[in-house]
């Protein structure tokens, strides 16, 4: 009896259709760079444990322009990931209260930046101190 014939629109290429989705996909794809960087760093540690020759070989491979370019790309990807993550973190966090007032989203984002900066300086200090 019913003459309904609904049309379901295809989703092909959905993430290119809105700048918001493009930014989301970039945020998610930064994980590829983080994974590769972690693997490279791990290979460096393995080389270090195998003695000086292996370590020197790893260093010389790292000096290849392609690896230097990759490290800059990975740094950019990590920074993009950090900035976007700090921005969405208040959505993931439970509600925090000081007294009876809810901690605003901005404060949560700001605290993360402060923690990040403190960590960087701490790391910098540890490396140069020891």
Partner 1 sequence: MTNMPLDNQKTIQFEVMRYKPGLDDAPTIENFSIPFTDDMSVLQGLQYIKDHLDGSLSFRWSCRMAICGSCGMMINNEPALSCQSFIRDYYPGKIRVEALQHFPVEKDLVIDASDFVGKLESIKPYIVPKEERSLEEGEYLQTPRQRDEYEQFSSCINCMLCYAACPQYGLDNQFTGPGVLALLHRYNADSRDGAKEERMEIVNAEEGVWGCTLVGYCSEVCPKGVDPANAVNQNKINSTMDYFLHFLKPGKGKK
Q: In the complex, which residues of this chain contact partner 1 (CB under 8 A)?
A: 3-9, 11, 14-15, 17-18, 20-21, 24, 28, 88, 90-95, 97, 100, 102
Which of 86, 120, 123 lies closest to 105 in space, CA to CA? 86
Nearest approach in angstroms of CB 96 to partner 1 is 12
- Alpha-carbon span 9 to 1, nearest angstrom: 25
Nearest approach in angstroms of CB 32 to partner 1 is 16
Nearest approach in angstroms of CB 24 to partner 1 is 5
Nearer to partner 1, 64 or 102 (CB): 102
Which of 38, 126, 119 lies closest to 78 in space, CA to CA? 38
Strands 101-102 and 97-98, sheet pairing: antiparallel
């Amino acid at each position: 009896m019913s003459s309904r014939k609904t049309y379901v629109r295809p989703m092909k290429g959905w993430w290119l259709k809105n700048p918001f989705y493009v930014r989301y996909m970039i945020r998610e794809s930064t994980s590829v760079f983080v994974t590769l960087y972690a693997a490279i760093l791990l290979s460096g540690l393995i080389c270090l444990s195998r003695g000086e020759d292996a370590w020197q070989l790893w260093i010389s491979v790292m000096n290849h322009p392609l690896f230097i370019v990759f490290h800059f790309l990975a740094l950019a990807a990590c920074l993009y990931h950090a900035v976007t993550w700090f921005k969405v973190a208040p959505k993931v966090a439970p509600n925090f209260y000081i007294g009876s007032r809810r901690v605003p989203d901005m404060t949560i984002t700001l605290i993360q930046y402060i923690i990040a900066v403190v960590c960087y300086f701490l790391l910098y200090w540890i490396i140069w101190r020891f």
